[in-house]
C-alpha cells in the first residue's frame, strides 16, 4: 500500500521537482537533447471528463513546457474505441483552456497515426521481432509463467511470411475477436512481465468515434504511445508512476521501430485526495446510473464540477503547484484544496459595503487640498492615495459616535486590517490590527455636528471602546492589492 502523506495548509512541502532537474541535464551541454526545444504532451483518453487528478498531470505537462520556453501538444489517446466520444473531446479542451493553458495548433488524435502504427507493426514482423499468436485469453493466463517460470507460446516461431499474411487478414476483418493477436518477440523469461512478449495489436469490431469501421484491429497503448511521441518530436514523455515498469517496453518500441527521435519517459506520482474518488471508471458509473446530475454535478471532483462549485482556475493551479512533484504515492487532505481556494477568493472576490441610514457629517478644520492622514498607512504602496478636500464628508449610522473610515485586508502586503476612527474626544485614531496585535496613532481633528449628537466629552482610550462605538464611513472603501502591484484608494463624494 502506498504511504499516505497528509498535507495541510499549515504544512505544505517545498517543491523539489526532479523532472526539471532531469530536463536541465538533458538540454545542457552533452545532454541527450542539447540545444533542442523542450517538447511535452498531454494525452488524455476521451472516455470521460477531466477531474482534479488529471489536473496535476496536465499542470506538469503544460507547466514544464512553459518553464523551459518549450511546447506542449494536446493529443487525444483514442486508440481504444470502447467508450470514446466527441462530447468528452470537447469537454477536455474546454477544461484545459479554462485553466489557462493552450496548445496552439498542436492538437492531435492518436487515431491520426493508425496507418503509421500498422506500418511499424509490419516492419517489426519483417525484422523477426513480432509474430501472430493464437493463444486464447485463458491460455494467456496459463502460459504467462511466474517469477521462477518463463512464459511460453507455441506460436512464437511462426514463420515471418505466415505472420505477415495473418496480420493483413486480421486487418481485413477475416477473423473473430479474440482469435489472433500480434505480439512482440522480446523475452519470455524477463523479470518484468511487461516484456514477456506483450500484445501489440488485438481485434475489435466496435466502430471508432472518428475512424468509423475503417479499422477492426487496434494498437495497444504501450505500442502506439511511443510511436506517437516520436513522430511528434516529443523530447520528454511525462506520465504517472504506474507506467514506470512499462518504460523498458517504451524504449524497446522506439529503438526497434523506424522513428525520427527517441523521447525520454519520466514518471511521477499520481495525485490522491482523501475522501475523494479519482477513478474515471467509478465516476462514469455514477453518471450512467443516474446517482448524480451529470459530470458537472458540484459534488463531483471533475473540473467542470469544481467550476460549478465556485473554484477558480488560479486556486486549482496553485494547489497543483504547491503539493509538489514526487516519485512516491501520496494523499493530500481535501482541506488544503479548500485553503487554496480561500486564498484566491480573499484577493479577488468582490466586496460591497453599504450604510443603511446615512447622515452627512462635516469635519470643519481639515486643511483644504491636503491628503488624508490615513494615507500615511499606505506610503509603502505604489500609487496609494486617498483624495480628500476641506469639506470632507462621511456617513453616520445614527446610533454610534465614532467613524470607521477604512477597512481592508491586504494579504499581498501585510495581512493586516486598518481602521481610521473619529472619536468622541475630537480626534482621529488609526487602528492597526495585526492578527490581534494593536497599534494606535493619534491625529487631532475637531468635529462640530450638533445634529448627530457628537460632542467633545472624553476621548476613547481603549480598543474595546472603539469597537463598541464604530461607524461605517460609506464614502471610503479600500481597493484590493493585486499581485503586489499597488493599491489605489479614492473617496466617493458624500451626498446631502
423 to each of 353, 400, 454, 463, how far by Cα in Å? 21, 10, 9, 12
Summarised one tens digit per residue, pLDDT across range 168-223 is 999 999 999 999 999 999 999 999 999 999 999 999 999 998 899 999 999 999 99
pLDDT higher than 90, residue 353: no
Query: Confidence band (pLDDT; 50, 70, 90) for 135?
Result: very high
The pLDDT of residue 379 is: 32
Summarised one tens digit per residue, pLDDT across range 89-123 is 999 999 999 999 999 999 999 999 999 999 999 99
pLDDT higher than 70, residue 59: yes
CA atoms of 330 and 272, how far apart (whole Å): 6
Query: Confidence band (pLDDT; 50, 70, 90) for 64?
Result: very high
CA atoms of 253 and 248, how far apart (whole Å): 9
Short-list 425, 427, 426, 428, CA closest to 458: 425
Which DSSP letter does residue 102 get? Answer: -
Summarised one tens digit per residue, pLDDT across range 436-464 is 333 333 333 223 333 333 332 333 343 34
- Give the three-state DSSP class for 36: coil
Mean pLDDT (the chain, rounded): 75
The pLDDT of residue 218 is: 96
> Looking at per-residue confidence, does 406 or 135 come out higher?
135
The pLDDT of residue 240 is: 92
- What's the mean pLDDT in 313-318? 95
The pLDDT of residue 394 is: 34
Spatial contact of 263 and 236, defined as CB atoms under 8 Å apart: yes
CA atoms of 127 and 258, how far apart (whole Å): 11
Spatial contact of 153 and 188, defined as CB atoms under 8 Å apart: yes
What is the phi/psi pair of residue 40, to 5°? -115, 180
Spatial contact of 428 and 445, defined as CB atoms under 8 Å apart: yes
The pLDDT of residue 72 is: 97
Q: How many CA atoms lie within 13 A of 416 on its CB side?
A: 15
- What's the mean pLDDT in 16-20? 82
* Rounded percentage of the chain residues whose pLDDT exceeds 70: 69
Query: Confidence band (pLDDT; 50, 70, 90) for 362?
Result: low
pTM for this prediction: 0.69
CA atoms of 229 and 247, how far apart (whole Å): 13
- Conformational region of residue 38, where left means phi above 0, alpha means psi within -120 to 50, and beta covers everything else: beta
Tell me how crowded residue 101 is: count the other CB atoms within 10 A of its CB. 20
Catalytic residues: 45, 270, 280
Of 335-339, 392-396, 401-405, 412-416, the range with the highest mean pLDDT is 335-339
Q: How far is CA 237 from the centre of its chain?
A: 18
Q: CA torsion sign, 335 to 341 to 343 to 349?
A: negative
Summarised one tens digit per residue, pLDDT across range 143-162 is 988 988 999 999 999 999 99
pLDDT higher than 60, residue 475: no
pLDDT higher than 50, residue 6: no
Summarised one tens digit per residue, pLDDT across range 227-243 is 999 999 999 999 999 99
Q: CA torsion sign, 289 to 292 to 297 to 303?
A: negative
Summarised one tens digit per residue, pLDDT across range 72-89 is 999 999 998 887 788 999
Query: Out of 285-299, 306-320, 380-394, which region has the weakest mean confidence (pLDDT)?
Result: 380-394
What is the phi/psi pair of residue 440, to 5°? -120, 135
- What's the mean pLDDT in 276-286? 91
Torsion of CA 128, 134, 137, 139, to 10 degrees: -90
The pLDDT of residue 364 is: 66
The pLDDT of residue 373 is: 41
The pLDDT of residue 225 is: 95
262 to each of 71, 143, 230, 460, how far by Cα in Å? 17, 33, 6, 76
The pLDDT of residue 366 is: 58
C-alpha Rg value of the chain to the nearest Å: 33
Task: Please report which residue ranges of 33-85 form alpha helices under DSSP H.
Answer: 52-67
The pLDDT of residue 447 is: 30
Query: Confidence band (pLDDT; 50, 70, 90) for 367?
Result: low
- What's the mean pLDDT in 284-308? 93
CA atoms of 157 and 64, how far apart (whole Å): 45
Summarised one tens digit per residue, pLDDT across range 334-351 is 999 999 999 999 888 888
pLDDT higher than 70, residue 403: no
Q: Are strands 199-203 and 71-76 parallel, antiparallel or unpaired?
A: unpaired
pLDDT higher than 80, residue 414: no
> Looking at per-residue confidence, does 109 or 385 come out higher?
109
Contacts 24+ apart (CB under 8 A), 24-30: 26/235, 26/236, 26/264, 27/68, 27/235
CA atoms of 285 and 287, how far apart (whole Å): 5
- What's the mean pLDDT in 425-439? 37
Amino acid at each position: 500500500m502506498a504511504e499516505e502523506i497528509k498535507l495541510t495548509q499549515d504544512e505544505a512541502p517545498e517543491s523539489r521537482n526532479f523532472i526539471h532537474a532531469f530536463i536541465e541535464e538533458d538540454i545542457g551541454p552533452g545532454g541527450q537533447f542539447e540545444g533542442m526545444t523542450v517538447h511535452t504532451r498531454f494525452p488524455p483518453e476521451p472516455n470521460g471528463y477531466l477531474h482534479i487528478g488529471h489536473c496535476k498531470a496536465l499542470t506538469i505537462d503544460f507547466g514544464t513546457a512553459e518553464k523551459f520556453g518549450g511546447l506542449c501538444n494536446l493529443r487525444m489517446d483514442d486508440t481504444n474505441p470502447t467508450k470514446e466520444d466527441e462530447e468528452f473531446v470537447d469537454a477536455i479542451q474546454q477544461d484545459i483552456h479554462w485553466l489557462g493553458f493552450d496548445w496552439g495548433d498542436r492538437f492531435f488524435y492518436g487515431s491520426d497515426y493508425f496507418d503509421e502504427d500498422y506500418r511499424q507493426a509490419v516492419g517489426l514482423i519483417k525484422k523477426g521481432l513480432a509474430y501472430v499468436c493464437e493463444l486464447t485469453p485463458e491460455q494467456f493466463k496459463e502460459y504467462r509463467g511466474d517469477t521462477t517460470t518463463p512464459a511460453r507460446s507455441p506460436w512464437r516461431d511462426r514463420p515471418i511470411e505466415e505472420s505477415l499474411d495473418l496480420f493483413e487478414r486480421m486487418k481485413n476483418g477475416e477473423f473473430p475477436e479474440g482469435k489472433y493477436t500480434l505480439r512482440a518477440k522480446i523475452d519470455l523469461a524477463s523479470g518484468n512481465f511487461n516484456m514477456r512478449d506483450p500484445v501489440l495489436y488485438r481485434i475489435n469490431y466496435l466502430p471508432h468515434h472518428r475512424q468509423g469501421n475503417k479499422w477492426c484491429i487496434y494498437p495497444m497503448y504501450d505500442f502506439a504511445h511511443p510511436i506517437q511521441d516520436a513522430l511528434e518530436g516529443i523530447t520528454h514523455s511525462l506520465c504517472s508512476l504506474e507506467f514506470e515498469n512499462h518504460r523498458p517496453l517504451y524504449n524497446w518500441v522506439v529503438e526497434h521501430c523506424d522513428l525520427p527521435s527517441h523521447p525520454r519517459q519520466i514518471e511521477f506520482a499520481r495525485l490522491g485526495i482523501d475522501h475523494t474518488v479519482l477513478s474515471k471508471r467509478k465516476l462514469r458509473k455514477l453518471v450512467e446510473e443516474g446517482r448524480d446530475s451529470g459530470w458537472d454535478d458540484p459534488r463531483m471532483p471533475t473540473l467542470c464540477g469544481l467550476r460549478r462549485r465556485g473554484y477558480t482556475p488560479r486556486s486549482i493551479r496553485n494547489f497543483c503547484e504547491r503539493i509538489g512533484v514526487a516519485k512516491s504515492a501520496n494523499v493530500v487532505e481535501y482541506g488544503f484544496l479548500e485553503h487554496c481556494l480561500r486564498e484566491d477568493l480573499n484577493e479577488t472576490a468582490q466586496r460591497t459595503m453599504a450604510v443603511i441610514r446615512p447622515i452627512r457629517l462635516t469635519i470643519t478644520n481639515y486643511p483644504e487640498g491636503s491628503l488624508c492622514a490615513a494615507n500615511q498607512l499606505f506610503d509603502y504602496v505604489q500609487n496609494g492615495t486617498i483624495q480628500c478636500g476641506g469639506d470632507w464628508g462621511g456617513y453616520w449610522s445614527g446610533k454610534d459616535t465614532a467613524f470607521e473610515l477604512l477597512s481592508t485586508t491586504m494579504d499581498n502586503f501585510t495581512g493586516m486590517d486598518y481602521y481610521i476612527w473619529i472619536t468622541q474626544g475630537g480626534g482621529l485614531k488609526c487602528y492597526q490590527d495585526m492578527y490581534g496585535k494593536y497599534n494606535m496613532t493619534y491625529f487631532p481633528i475637531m468635529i462640530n455636528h450638533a445634529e448627530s449628537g457628537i460632542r467633545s466629552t472624553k476621548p476613547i482610550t481603549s480598543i474595546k471602546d472603539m469597537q463598541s462605538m464604530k461607524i461605517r464611513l460609506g464614502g471610503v472603501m479600500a481597493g484590493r492589492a493585486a499581485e503586489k502591484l499597488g493599491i489605489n484608494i479614492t473617496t466617493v463624494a458624500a451626498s446631502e
